[in-house]
Amino acid sequence: MASARSSRTLRLALRQASAPRVQQRTFISAVNSASRPAVKQAAVSSFVQQARGVKTVDFAGDKEKVYERDDWPRDKLLEYFKNDTLALIGYGSQGHGQGLNLRDNGLNVIVGVRKNGASWKEAEQDGWVAGTNLFDIDEAIGKGTIIMNLLSDAAQSETWPHIKPMLTKGKTLYFSHGFSPVFKAQTGVEVPKDIDVILVAPKGSGRTVRTLFREGRGINSSFAVFQDVTGKADEKAQALGVAIGSGYLYKTTFEKEVHSDLYGERGCLMGGIHGMFLAQYEVLRENGHSPSEAFNETVEEATQSLYPLIGQNGMDYMYAACSTTARRGAIDWSKKFKDTLKPVFEELYDSVKTGKETQRTMEYAGRKDYREAFEKEMEEIREMEIWRAGKAVRSLRPENA
């Protein structure tokens, strides 16, 4: 679609967009700075003071408080959690990312998983030691003061009758998704009335939680309070958000978090975009275009050139960076797509809010053969012509050639 000139503009913009950024201050740098002479320490402290993070940010006219990690320097975190044992239950994608970040931040964290399951082995590979900071689930909950429930959402429901009696007064219950308590009618997760219940939900995979932390950056997360019995639940959620590796924290509610999350992943993040790709590709193929042409014009140019520009600089910048011809047509057709798709999004939001999506998830995850069923669906997607063509196109990228 783009002209040669605009392609050059795009390539240049992409190079700029992907240039490494100046490294920001991190807890790792804070750890290193802890061993420097006192005079340097003073300089570091004043920097922390000046860079204090809570900010009111104007998001398109909507003023919102945003919390950031400079609010919780490492010393403050260590002091705040000095009497706590963080028991991280489950070691999937989030368990791995959050657990290792907590450990690197120097907090007293233990992992609780099924003995000799896949997660147990993965935790051992990541350096957690059985009997020292790796336990079975019951033992970890017994030792923990803050119970971080990072089991799969279906497992949170399945294990709840067993786990609930162990969540005694004085403990805090933490989630990374509002799913279980919000949809308690389907999940059965009715939280005890006498404990704080909080949430920190990283906006990305646990792998990204870890890589961004290691790069000295931090993932965006939302945080929320479901139940505050101590009067400290809000600040505890902020502190934990920073401790697990968030850069910025946005306040929300459990309900809003789960509604937006389920909606987004079914819509523009995954389901909707996959549907758009398939529809566009099929029409191109039905009109005699080759698989490579249909794939390049549908997925490759989108993901390799245009979407990163939207991410870095916004939609107007991307429109401005393409040819007049492309821009005119795209602006005209965007209205038709919006009007056609809006009822679908309304139906989707309703399906999320009424718990229909939760019901479907629980039924699916409750099937004994759900791993096999999932693998079968993945195989079907892998074998679609569009994604087979994509595999060939990707193999020609400079880094793969």
Ligand X SMILES: NC(=O)c1ccc[n+]([C@@H]2O[C@H](COP(=O)([O-])OP(=O)(O)OC[C@H]3O[C@@H](n4cnc5c(N)ncnc54)[C@H](OP(=O)(O)O)[C@@H]3O)[C@@H](O)[C@H]2O)c1
Given 126, 136, 139, 158, the residue binding ligand X (CB under 6 A): 158
259 sits near ligand X (criterion: CB under 6 A):
no
Q: Is 37 exposed, middle or buried (0-12, 13-18, 19+ CB in 10 A)?
A: exposed
Positions marked catalytic: 177
How many CA within 13 A on the CB side of residue 115? 7
Residues in the chain: 401
Given 155, 199, 306, 386, the residue binding ligand X (CB under 6 A): 155
Q: Amino acid letter at 186?
A: Q
Phi and psi based region of residue 231 (left: phi greater than 0; alpha: psi -120 to 50; beta: remaining): left
Which CB atom, from 317 or from 370, has the smaller least distance to ligand X? 370
Rounded least distance, CB 175 to ligand X, Å = 6
Best CA proximity match to 126, nearest among 163, 154, 156, 88: 88
Part in contact with ligand X (CB under 6 A); list of ranges 88-96, 191-199, 322-330, 391-399: 88-96
Looking at residue 165, the DSSP 8-state letter turns out to be G
Given 99, 112, 206, 390, the residue binding ligand X (CB under 6 A): 206
Strands (E), 317-391: none
- For ligand X (CB under 6 A), the number of binding residues is 25
Best CA proximity match to 331, nearest among 346, 316, 345: 316
Rounded least distance, CB 45 to ligand X, Å = 34
90 sits near ligand X (criterion: CB under 6 A):
yes
358 sits near ligand X (criterion: CB under 6 A):
no
CA distance 200 to 238: 8
Rounded least distance, CB 90 to ligand X, Å = 4
**Binding positions for ligand X, 12-71, rule CB under 6 A:** none
**Binding positions for ligand X, 93-152, rule CB under 6 A:** 93-95, 113-114, 117-119, 150-152
Given 205, 292, 304, 359, the residue binding ligand X (CB under 6 A): 205
CA distance 110 to 137: 10
Rounded least distance, CB 227 to ligand X, Å = 17
Which CB atom, from 30 or from 352, has the smaller least distance to ligand X? 352
Given 92, 106, 216, 308, the residue binding ligand X (CB under 6 A): 92
Helix (H, G, I), strand (E, B) or coil at 224: strand
Which residues contact residue 61 at a Cβ distance below 8 angstroms, ignoring those fewer than 6 apart?
none
Given 159, 186, 252, 361, the residue binding ligand X (CB under 6 A): 159
- For Cα atoms 317, 318, 319, give the angle at the middle one, nearest 5 degrees: 90
Rounded least distance, CB 93 to ligand X, Å = 4
**Binding positions for ligand X, 164-203, rule CB under 6 A:** 176-177, 179, 201-202
Best CA proximity match to 294, nearest among 360, 387, 160: 387
Residues of this chain that interact with ligand X (CB under 6 A) are 90-95, 113-114, 117-119, 150-153, 155, 158-159, 176-177, 179, 201-202, 205-206
